[in-house]
Structure 1
Amino acid sequence: MTVPPVDEGNRSPGHHIELIDENPSPRHDGEASPGLRNSKGWDGKLRIPKSAVLSNPEALSDPEYSDDENVMPGDEVPADEGKPFLSHLLDAEPLDTDEIMCTHSRIQSISALRLERFKQVARICLRQNSIQEIEGLEGVAATLNDLDLYDNLISHIGRGLEDLVNLTSLDLSFNKIKHIKHINHLTNLTDLFFVANKISKIDGLEGLTKLRNLELGSNRIRELQNLDNLTSLEELWVAKNKITELTGLSGLSNLRLLSIQSNRISDLSPLKDVPQLEELYISHNMLESLEGLEHNTKLRTLEISNNKVASLKGLGPLVELEELWASYNLIADFNEVEKELGDKKSLTTVYFEGNPLQLRGPALYRNKVRLALPQVQQIDASKFCPCLSASYAVNMLTPI
């Protein structure tokens, strides 16, 4: 078990720019959060290094980022002046390269890069530039499978992706996109990123039957809809939106991870439609009860921090549970902790910090949890030797 980093921002193993931060970083609310342990995430922030300078820095702090009046275009080269510079920007690259990376290079026009020279390029990364239009890519359509336009100034998806039918990964995060359009012909896509845009409705995804990972965090989505055709989807990231209900997931028979933090969810019962779910991240919502999880017996990780949950009832059937993150709720009863979690043989990690059962007696809190859950190896941020017996905890609780 590793020290849990934040519940933010990774890509599939082996991806060239997998930027995993091994140290916890503050969330949007200032709390160092447990939960997701890779660089994928609820709003994609950890998919850039901390040392990076965003072309549009509002993206990391302003919830209304990408409104036209808030866009920070950065240091741009005027179009006429920049074209000669851009046309020679890649001259040092071998023509048989399979990867082109031009980040923070003041690029405004993809066409000016003359990408058609590169006959074997499989991946193009043009992060942190000032690109407003997707164009100039038809010359590399035959070989290109990964296109990364993270942190640019793209406001709509035109026809520039029309020929890129071999794409498996497309990242349009941190732009100004309002509508998902002109991508449903990209039937080979497995990973699609629209983090931090202005999207209010999920649509335009029909036909993407190979899609495994969809990131829509930090948008303006109110409803989970039009997902039924995504029959291969394994991971859905929709945190920091305005979603009120967990309906709309019934067609996702392969969904194993749902990140829906910082929304307005109060009822867990619709999750019966995805009984195969293994990881659920639902902190910062409006939960008062865990009832409704009874059918999700495959859950291994459950993150419910920063809600108003007073009871652990509903967790009894979750026999495969390994990690429970429940900080900053209203849980007060150690007897109920033992009743609902004591039989979970695989349970190794629990977080109860900020609950009444911790706040009322912080000095004895961890020993009481050990006594109730002797199988656990980590309580909040503290690890301890799993060989420590429950009898030791009893002795610690017995007055001298």
Structure 2
Amino acid sequence: MVAEVGTGLDGRRQAKKSASAPDAPSAHDLRARPKKRKQQVASSSLVDDRLTLGRKRAAIPHKQQQQQQQQLRTAHQLSTTINIVASVAADGFGIRCRIRFVREAGEVVSELRSKRHPIIAMVAVGDEPVTSTASGSTELSASSVVSNDGTSGNLSNSSNTRSGSAMATVDVESTSLPTMNVPQGATSSGFTSTPEDSEEDGILDLTSSQLHNLKEVDLPPTLVELDLTANRLTELDERIGQMSMLKKLSLRQNLFEDSAVEALTRWPPVFGLEELVLRDNRLTRIPVVDAFTNLIVLDVSYNKISSMMGLSKASPLVREVYLSSNAIQKIEELDHLQNLQILELGSNKVRKMDGIEKLTQLKELWLGRNRLTTVNMCGLTSLTRISIQSNHLTSMRGFEACVLLEELYLSHNAITEMEGLSTLNKLRILDVSSNKLDAIKDIKNLSRLEDLWLNDNNIPSLDGIEAALEGVKNSLTVIYLERNPCARNNPDYVRKLRKMLPKLVQIDSQFFD
């Protein structure tokens, strides 16, 4: 099974559940919430997939899944001929340029990295990628790109580029290009910039650059986004403290300890930060973030934090807080965050749901892999997604007031009866797999239910199931009943289910037209 999404920053199911038994949610599965922007940067952008323990991806409708498969095929086709935008750093030793997604082909980026090809800038042109070849006359003053092994390729102006943008292609399979070098004497202005280039000059992505410090890196004080993900940094460069325009800073997957991160709170020019990602470091406490009065997103997941005290004076503008995979035992210090919309606390040691009743704007709550025994959603009427997978719940009561709820994930608990669902008439996804259920109940009012996961329970037979599912037969498209007695003891149960529920496109791992 596919486990929880949440980059990061994603919880939508990007692939259908497999036929295998659903394991307890594992880390880095969903993601999350890719940031929408006019021109997206690499997959390692500041707000990455928020893949959080205990979160599941929302099931994708059959037709949409087919579209995604086609997009994936398109991505792999593009992996041999990559469109590069003519914007190369002129440092002479092939430093990495920003990656931009070719529309519907972001997977190319990771494929290039895995093959150790040069990481080059890419850009989408309209709705279709550029298809010109790398041969032809050269009209660019720095058109010859030389690799470390001495091979070279001429980059020609594309015949079908728009707005005068200088575009070209390079065959990364037939040309060995471990790094991209700029010919001696070339300047970055030797290539024609696209309008998007100027727009993104404030972004620097140094992901996975094996940096132990930033001494040899040019850090313009005008940066708006700085991504230092997956390096070996232990201290912050003081030049960061001079970036008065900085809005997004990612220090994810480094070796920062508390004292190093606290330097940020002593640098007034960066107090305008809106997004701070400290995920996967060596922090033992949440840094005091009260100085960041414009802060919207804070991610301190995958650290060794035991208390939420650092949030006590956080800006009331904060909308997203990610605290997954720490050692937090108590939910606290959130009352003043009246604009909070996403709270991730998966894989901690939380035993009670106190401290969230005043979060009336909360839309997503992720509490998978904790130690909860009961649910208290009083006052949380704006919630649309809840995950409390892999806890110790014995009852489904407590969600009645969540009338806007669309996705509810309760797998891997000890629930014995389906109840408390009658008011949730907006629910689209219900996951109660891997519990102790012996009957399907209380879903007759769920007229919008699309996905129902009941696998790995104790439902004895199909008798009475048709009546139990009467209220959802016109909306239900996916159902999981595998590893229940009703499936094991009835080889014809798939045919019977299809007859009961004519709109099904998936039963367990089987798809239908």
Q: TM-score scaled to structure 2, two decimals?
A: 0.60
Deviation at 1:371, TM superposition (A): 1.2
Please tell me whether the aligned partners of residues 42 and 261 of structure 1 are also in contact (alpha carbons under 8 angstroms): no
Please tell me whether the aligned partners of residues 87 and 114 of structure 1 are also in contact (alpha carbons under 8 angstroms): no
Residue among 206, 218, 226 paired with 2:355: 226
The answer as to 2:110 corresponding to 1:114 is: no
- C-alpha separation in 2, matches of 1:212 and 1:222: 22
Matches within 5 A, 1:88-107: 88=215, 91-107=217-233
Please tell me whether the aligned partners of residues 24 and 412 of structure 2 are also in contact (alpha carbons under 8 angstroms): no
- Tell me the secondary structure at the aligned position of residue 468 of structure 2: helix
The answer as to 2:307 corresponding to 1:307 is: no
* Unaligned 5+ runs, structure 1: 53-76, 386-400
- C-alpha separation in 1, matches of 2:359 and 2:110: 33
Deviation at 1:152, TM superposition (A): 0.5
Residue in structure 1 matched with residue 444 of structure 2 by the alignment: 316
- C-alpha separation in 2, matches of 1:370 and 1:19: 29
Deviation at 1:135, TM superposition (A): 1.4
Residue among 403, 422, 435 paired with 1:275: 403
- C-alpha separation in 2, matches of 1:336 and 1:309: 14
The answer as to 2:478 corresponding to 1:349 is: yes
- C-alpha separation in 2, matches of 1:22 and 1:237: 18
**When the two structures are aligned, how many residues end up with a matched partner?**
338
Deviation at 1:289, TM superposition (A): 0.6
Return closer, same or farther for 1:107/1:30 CA change in 2, 3 Å cut-off: farther
Residue in structure 2 matched with residue 243 of structure 1 by the alignment: 372
Residue in structure 2 matched with residue 64 of structure 1 by the alignment: none
Residue among 128, 134, 151 paired with 2:253: 128
The answer as to 2:321 corresponding to 1:192 is: yes
- C-alpha separation in 1, matches of 2:295 and 2:431: 33
Q: Over aligned residues, Cα RMSD in angstroms?
A: 3.1
- Tell me the secondary structure at the aligned position of residue 487 of structure 2: helix
Return closer, same or farther for 1:25/1:299 CA change in 2, 3 Å cut-off: closer
Return closer, same or farther for 1:113/1:128 CA change in 2, 3 Å cut-off: farther
CA deviations over 1:273-309 (Å, ceiling 9, x no partner): 3233221000000111102222222211100110111
Matches within 5 A, 1:177-188: 177-184=305-312, 185-188=314-317
Return closer, same or farther for 1:20/1:377 CA change in 2, 3 Å cut-off: closer
Please tell me whether the aligned partners of residues 41 and 237 of structure 1 are also in contact (alpha carbons under 8 angstroms): no
Q: Which has the higher mean CA deviation after the structures are superposed, 267-276 or 217-226?
A: 267-276
Residue in structure 2 matched with residue 7 of structure 1 by the alignment: 3
Deviation at 1:323, TM superposition (A): 0.9
Q: TM-score scaled to structure 1, two decimals?
A: 0.77
* Unaligned 5+ runs, structure 2: 33-49, 58-108, 114-209
Please tell me whether the aligned partners of residues 286 and 300 of structure 2 are also in contact (alpha carbons under 8 angstroms): no
Residue among 38, 43, 58 paired with 2:53: 43
- Tell me the secondary structure at the aligned position of residue 241 of structure 2: helix
- C-alpha separation in 2, matches of 1:95 and 1:7: 40
Deviation at 1:46, TM superposition (A): 10
- C-alpha separation in 2, matches of 1:113 and 1:366: 64
Return closer, same or farther for 1:22/1:140 CA change in 2, 3 Å cut-off: farther
Matched to 1:135, the amino acid is E
Q: Which has the higher mean CA deviation after the structures are superposed, 185-194 or 218-227?
A: 185-194
CA deviations over 1:230-277 (Å, ceiling 9, x no partner): 111000000000000012x11112011110000011111221132332
- C-alpha separation in 2, matches of 1:322 and 1:25: 14
Please tell me whether the aligned partners of residues 410 and 433 of structure 2 are also in contact (alpha carbons under 8 angstroms): yes
Residue among 464, 470, 489 paired with 1:336: 464
